[in-house]
Amino acid sequence: MKSITRTTLLLAAALVAASAGHAHDRHLHDRSGSAVRSADGACWRTGVWRDAPDHPAHPECDPQPEVFTQAAEPVIVLVVPVETQPVAEPLPQPVLVIERVVVETDALFDFGRTELRARGRQRLDQLAAHLTQARQVDWVRVVGHADRLGTSHYNQALSEGRAQAVADHLVAQGVDAALIRAEGRGESEPVTAAAACTGAAGAALVACLQPDRRVDVDAAIGMPREAGGL
């Protein structure tokens, strides 16, 4: 009897609360918005439950359906190792150096002659040793020169004969003959000024023009960058 009275009182209270403003919902709830429950914890339903099935559900009494989302398919990244070859550092390239040796013909020959002196041979031996020991020799050019004394024809032949004598000696000391070119330029390329020996005559003139009597030896020599030349 007490139980019935208690339940009746609770229901009456709930109905009073519902009539306060929320009786149109599918469940009874009090003024604070909380659902009115029975003794066993169930929510009390109203008549709206059947008349308005689309009415918004109460969050405490109408559990929301679980929503299942399909997980995205995993993306498989295939890593294929690529065999790489080590990059070799380029070898240092040789530097091509043009070296020139100027030898006064008076040190190599008697005046007006094309035969080498003994002292001249020693100087050329040093030059030949340098050329044969070089890392690379591309070419050797031997050019003979004469002073302006005598005829142009004579000086041309004298310069050619002396250049060839120097070239022959270099070949005899081991320099490749295929690399050597000998030529004479006579009196056409003096190094003394035209007025340098004005007023000189005889032995004084010969001594004054001595720088014009020379043999130039140019060599294209390849060598490592850290190496030196003549």
Q: Which pLDDT score is estimated for 14?
A: 47
User: Residue 162 and residue 117: Cα distance in Å, rounded?
Assistant: 12
Where do the domains of the chain lie, and which CATH numbers do they carry? 2-51 (no CATH), 95-223 (3.30.1330.60)
**Is the pLDDT assigned to residue 1 strictly greater than 50?**
no
- The pairs formed by 12-21 with CB atoms below 8 angstroms and a separation of 24 or more are 14/44, 18/46
76-87: per-residue pLDDT in tens?
656 666 666 676
Predicted TM-score (pTM) of the model is: 0.55
Q: Which pLDDT score is estimated for 109?
A: 87
User: Residue 230 and residue 117: Cα distance in Å, rounded?
Assistant: 23
97-135: per-residue pLDDT in tens?
888 888 888 888 888 889 998 888 888 999 999 999 988
Q: Which pLDDT score is estimated for 131?
A: 92
pLDDT class of 152 with cuts at 50, 70, 90 = very high
Q: What is the number of residues in the chain?
A: 230
Q: Which residue has the higher pLDDT, 147 or 41?
A: 147
User: Residue 177 and residue 167: Cα distance in Å, rounded?
Assistant: 8
